[in-house]
Amino acid sequence: MRCIFLLLLWLIPGQGYSLSSFPVVNSPTDATALRYDISGSNAWYPYFIPDAKQPGIVAELIDKILKHADIKGLPVSLPPKRTLLALSNGELDFDVVSPSWFPGQQVSQEFVLSDGLIVIKEYIVTLPENQHRYPTLSATFGQKIGTIRGYLYNNDHLFERVDFNSEIQLIQALRKGRIQAAILGDLPAAYWAEQSRTKIAFATLHSAGDLHIRLRKEHRYLLNRINRAIATLKDTGELTQIVAHYIGRSEHTLLQKTSD
């Protein structure tokens, strides 16, 4: 999942000031803000929560990364499919993705990736009585599988996508028998299953990898600042504290590195 932190260089107005009022700058970042979208499907719990006081793990991480990197941010909210288009055509400049969502874990050369943030995992999720039907990933090939409109999946050419608008809709579709299996992150699936009082099973792992900021290549001069900010969050324990706040335990697999 995931498509989702996007930035556009946006000039800050200097109304009421002369050019001489501003210091000389060596890079556009000193005079610009970054526009981004972290909403996902608006049900990507606990990564994004539409609550200003508790906005979610990824929302808090991005906010702190931008502050530590001394980069101004302008959040926006777009549907996932629209977000992908805006990133592709240059309206937006950055999102967060896991290479595990892409075929061969290959991200387009139009982008550069930051250091890893947290680990993210997605599973083939079913009702308990259907778990035995999906012992391996190959059991999904050629089958109708529930997915989220606009989300990225590394092998969606091998199964028939049945798109829904959000994670909660996928859980509801499973409960009502509209689909037999869906691809969902472990934490969003567990949360929405509990909220809807639906028993689910994690049949088999679909993808796992580190979550990264994916930045359009023309803005790669920002990457060192972003990576230093990520390192600071890890070294000071801020990242661990944010994860623990939302999931109740600091030694969760979100903090375990999956690859070098």
- One domain for residues 217 and 114: yes
Q: Is 4 within a domain? A: no
- One domain for residues 28 and 106: yes
Domain end, chosen from 208, 223, 243, is at 208
Q: Is 103 within a domain? A: yes
Beta partners for 95?
214
Q: Show the tokens assigned to 14.
A: 């200097």
Output the domain CATH number for residue 250: 3.40.190.10
* Total domains, the chain: 2
Nearest Cα to 94, choosing from 228, 213, 218, 238?
A: 213
- One domain for residues 86 and 185: no
- One domain for residues 26 and 141: no
CA distance readout (Å), 238 to 190, 203, 231? 25, 33, 10
What domain range is 138 assigned to?
119-208
User: Which segment of 136-140, 149-153, 190-194, 244-248 scores lowest on mean pLDDT?
Assistant: 244-248
- One domain for residues 24 and 148: no
- One domain for residues 41 and 81: yes
Q: Is 233 within a domain? A: yes
* pLDDT score for 43: 81
Going by pLDDT thresholds of 50, 70 and 90, the confidence category of residue 50 is: confident
Q: Determine which helix (DSSP H) or strand (DSSP E) holds 234, and give its type and residue range.
A: helix 223-235
Q: What is the pLDDT of residues 97-140, one digit of tens each?
A: 999 999 999 999 999 999 999 999 999 999 999 999 999 999 99
Kindly report each contact of residues 84-89 with a partner whose C-beta sits within 8 Å and lies 24 or more positions away, as own/partner. 84/3, 84/150, 84/152, 86/6, 86/37, 87/3, 87/6, 87/216
Distance CA(222)–CA(226), nearest Å, equals 6
Orientation of helix 223-235 relative to helix 238-247, angle to 10°: 70
> Is the confidence at residue 8, as pLDDT, over 80?
no
